[in-house]
Amino acid sequence: MIQIVTAPVLTHDTSPEDIVGNILNKREDLGFIDVDSTVNTQEILKYIDSVTLEFDTMVVLGIGGSALGTRAIFEALRGKNHNEIPGVQKLYILDTIETDTISDLLEILDLKKTMFCVISKSGSTIETQSQYVFFRKQVQSIQSDWKKHFCFVVGENFLYTSELENDFQIFELADNIGGRFSVFTAVGLLPLAFVGIDIDGLISGLSGIKTNCLSKDISQNIALHLAIMQYYYYKTETKNICVFFPYSSRLGQIGEWYKQLLAESIGKDGVGVTPCSAIGVTDQHSQLQLYQDGPQDKLFITLEILNSQSELFIDKNKSLTFDSLLKIEKYGTESSLRNEGIPVISLAMEKLDERNIAQLLYIFEFQIAYLGELFDINAFDQPGVEKSKIITKQKLLSDFPDLDLMLEAFKI
């Protein structure tokens, strides 16, 4: 369960009934709301059972919403060093086209035991296209039956070739779920299931909090409460930067996912909240000076895990644990900020498991939807991103006129 521990008390003139009502009126177009009842986890698990007998490594080829949410949950539940543990199913998420990173990954992969999950809702993501073409060539060089090494997650309206449909496992992403809201579809659930994460537990977490996230009572609806506070501080005190500050390094990638969710959804029409992320206690010693004494243009959202999976004592008398010290450090940071009049919203997670991590991300998705209503903007498009894609494609076709031929074998 996620809860607000402390938060500023606000006097606002927004109407929770109208905000939630507007989202409910768009419910059919906002597939993330009811993904708990539309996603087919059994289909995913059946496929995973069939491939883990032969493959011990999965590489996700995707970028943005096709990668960030998956990495956030993977690192939260499995930790940063999971792939170094002998004998486990490994997951790598390649969300870059940097030569050095791709070369480094290629050096450690046993391609005969590696499968690739190619994710592109639009089917036109040039980075994912190029990744697929490259790794297809690598696998083809060692395997005659190379097609079993690849599966695809594409938009339901994607017109794939008959060869792709007949020869590969394809999972479809509903048209009413945007990429940055897609982590609880096959986009995230497929790779997460590959490493043994309980995807039914994730979905159960959504179902357990959906009623609250749709409540018109702000005291029951954390997502709505967060949205109203963010909007209030933006409008009344020019707090146009939001710092997500979890006190757990395992939650660091949640901040990276949240940055896309907030920036790409709200940053348009001349308005926007700039997202930043920090990790306690690490960034107390790198960023806190700015936050404490720099421009007062920030709203902070801190997060702590109430119950750790283990207990490590610092002193020989077993009176002080690392967990206790972490909580005291968090209290010190929050108090010093509040003493300067800086708004801090303190969130708490009962424990770090599938149910709770899913609820955290689900709350943030609803928060962004409600924030879009408050700003009176469409939180579900990204016209600025599309502009750069058009220019990039034009430049590619100008410099490499045979580009379409190179990618002909997989028209994503």
Mean predicted lDDT score pLDDT of the chain: 92
Residue range 8-37: average pLDDT? 91
Give the pLDDT of residue 412.
Answer: 40
pLDDT for residue 357 is more than 80: yes
Given the residues 75, 127, 256, 264, the one annotated as active site = 264
Closest CA to 59 of 72, 49, 71, 45: 71
Question: What is the C-alpha separation between 258 and 273, in angstroms, rounded?
Answer: 12
Q: Max Cα separation, the chain? A: 72
Residue 403 is predicted with a pLDDT of 67
pLDDT score at 311: 78
Beta bridge partners of 344: 300
Q: Per-residue pLDDT for 410 more than 80?
A: no
The predicted pLDDT at position 405 comes to 52
Asked if 304 is an active-site residue, the reply is no
Q: What is the mean pLDDT of residues 135-163?
A: 85
Q: Please say whether the beta carbons of 171 and 186 come within 8 A.
A: yes
Is the pLDDT confidence value at 407 over 60?
no
**DSSP code of residue 174:** P
* 216 classed as catalytic: no
Higher pLDDT, 353 or 8: 353
What is the band of 43 on the pLDDT scale with cuts at 50, 70, 90? very high
Spatial distance between the Cα atoms of 90 and 194, rounded to a whole number of angstroms: 8
Residue-level pLDDT at 164 = 63
pLDDT digits (tens, 9 = 90+) for 374-393: 999 999 998 888 788 788 87
What the block records as the tokens of 234 is: 């933006």
Residue 132's pLDDT is what?
92
pLDDT of residue 238 exceeding 80 = yes
Catalytic residue among 84, 98, 107, 285: 285
**C-alpha distance from residue 222 to each of 6, 127, 201 (Å):** 12, 36, 21
Please give the residue that has the higher pLDDT: either 406 or 298: 298
Q: Identify the active-site residue in 82, 259, 389, 411.
A: 389
Q: With pLDDT > 70 as the criterion, what percentage of the chain qualifies?
A: 95
**Per-residue model confidence (pLDDT) at position 317:** 79
156 catalytic per annotation: no
Q: What is the mean pLDDT of residues 6-27?
A: 88
The answer to whether 121 and 154 are in contact (CB under 8 A) is yes
Domains of the chain from N-terminus onward: 2-27+214-381 (3.40.50.10490), 34-200+388-406 (3.40.50.10490)
Confidence at 409, pLDDT banded by 50, 70, 90: very low
Phi (first) and psi of residue 361, to 5 degrees: -65, -35
Residue 151 and residue 115 in contact, taking contact as beta carbons nearer than 8 Å: yes
Tokens 């008398």 belong to which residue? 317
Can you tell me the mean pLDDT for 266-275? Answer: 95
The pLDDT tens digits of the residues spanning 276-301 come to 999 999 999 999 999 999 999 999 99
Average pLDDT over residues 301-314: 88
Residues 6 or more apart whose CB falls under 8 angstroms from that of 347 comprise: 2, 3, 4, 5, 222, 301, 302, 303, 304, 360
| Span 318-341, average pLDDT | 93
Q: What's the pLDDT at 161? A: 58
State the pTM of this model: 0.94
**Does residue 166 carry a pLDDT above 70?**
no
Residue 54 pLDDT greater than 90, yes or no = yes
* CA-closest candidate to residue 138, choices 83, 61, 53, 47: 61
Q: In the predicted model, is pLDDT for residue 401 greater than 80?
A: no
> Peptide bond preceding 281: is omega within 30 degrees of 0, i.e. cis?
yes
**Mean pLDDT value across residues 96-100:** 97
Average pLDDT of span 45-51: 97
User: What's the pLDDT score for residue 383?
Assistant: 86
Among 81-95, 162-176, 177-191, 356-370, the minimum mean pLDDT is found in 162-176
Yes or no: say if 106 and 394 are a contact pair by the CB < 8 Å rule: no
